[in-house]
Structure 1
Amino acid sequence: MSDQSVYERIGGREAVDAVVDDFYDRVLTDPQLVGYFEDTPMAELRAHQVQFISSVAGGPVEYDGGDMREAHAHLDIDEPDFDAVARYLEAALRENGVSEEDTATIMDEVAALKAPVLNR
């Protein structure tokens, strides 16, 4: 195993930007999910997602997006929608060349957010 962080192994900021762009391309074309993003400043949301992925991947960034429960409470997200978003992120990671091991590391962090995002 390398001493590099996941962030470094996947290609740093450029790779994370590509994953986030791919991820939102998928999410925003899904009729089941697009309603959650109406009236959302997407540039700001994309920046938060880049920061989040960079942070959980061990990059030189600390996520300051706030409390997940508070940030998502007004959306009333249900479990199938959370799961769909997670699947799109996993697909974007894989499509952009992130290894199975590094994808699993990032997705473990996402899974840990399920309860707070669903306001449980």
Structure 2
Amino acid sequence: MADETLYEHAGGTEGLHRLEETFYARVLADPLLQPLFGAGRASHVEHLTWFTAESFGGPDRFSETLGFAHLIDVHRHLQITEEQRRRFVELYMAALDEAALPDDKPFRDAVRSHVEFGSHVAMQNSRAATDDELHPLRQVPRWTWDADPAGR
């Protein structure tokens, strides 16, 4: 697995699109998270797919098309709570099964680490009153089997 990227292991863009589509449907139906997403946007599944693909070692379409500043902007002022953050992680991990992504422990651990990290960044950015309070991350993080981009 060490030579294979998380992107490849997940089934590439097709597998990740299936995951994000499943996850997004769950979020829009969840009473705790739906208020953060409103009625939904047709482009959101594609944007989530691009972001996850890039994070997992696939094409850098998210950075080329939208850029990380877009991600900061969409989370600003949402006031994400810890309860919502935990529910986001729970629904994401459950969507892996429904979307039939690999269920091996190394992959699931890497995905959980990625979603935990990202949800903490999103929560911090959603509560930042000033730019100085934003998380310092300014580019799509590159996730590997062994560690998050902060080396933890």
TM-score range, shorter chain: 0.7 to 0.9
Deviation, 1:48, is 1.7
Specify the alignment match of 1:61 in structure 2.
60
Partner of 2:111: 106
Distance in structure 2 (CA, Å) of the matches to 1:111 and 1:10: 18
Q: RMSD across aligned C-alpha pairs, in angstroms?
A: 2.0
TM-score by length of 1: 0.83
Q: Which residue of 2 aligns with 1:33?
A: 33
**CA–CA distance in 1 between the matches of 2:76 and 2:39?**
16
Q: Which amino acid aligns with 1:109?
A: H
Tell me the alpha carbon deviations over residues 50-80 of structure 1, each in whole angstroms, 9 at most, x when there is no partner: 0121122211225435245543122111011
Task: Give the letter aligned to residue 77 of structure 1.
Answer: I
Query: Is residue 85–residue 120 contact of structure 2 (8 Å, CA) maintained in 1?
Result: no
CA offsets, 1:21-57, max 9 Å, x none? 11011111111111111155x2222122101211222
Q: Distance in 1 between matches of 2:74 and 2:108?
A: 24
> Is contact 2:89–2:119 with CA below 8 Å preserved after alignment?
no
Q: Is the 2:28–2:39 Cα contact (8 Å) retained in structure 1?
A: no
1:6-21 alignment, distance < 5 Å: 6-21=6-21
Q: Which has the higher contact order (CA 8 A, sep 6+)?
A: 1
Structure 2 gaps, min length 5:
128-152
1:84 is displaced (CA, Å) by 0.6
C-alpha deviation, 1:5, in angstroms: 1.0
Tell me the distance in 2 between the aligned counterparts of 1:93 and 1:79: 22
Task: Indicate conservation of the 8 Å contact 2:54/2:62, yes or no.
Answer: yes
Q: Secondary structure at the match of 1:112?
A: helix
1:85 aligns with 2:76: no
Higher helix share: 1
- Report the equivalent of 1:47: 46
Aligned amino acid, residue 54 of structure 1: A
Which ranges in structure 1 are unaligned for 5 or more consecutive residues? Answer: none
Identity %, equivalent residues: 29
- Report which of the two structures shows the higher radius of gyration computed on alpha carbons: 2
TM-score w.r.t. structure 2 length?
Answer: 0.68
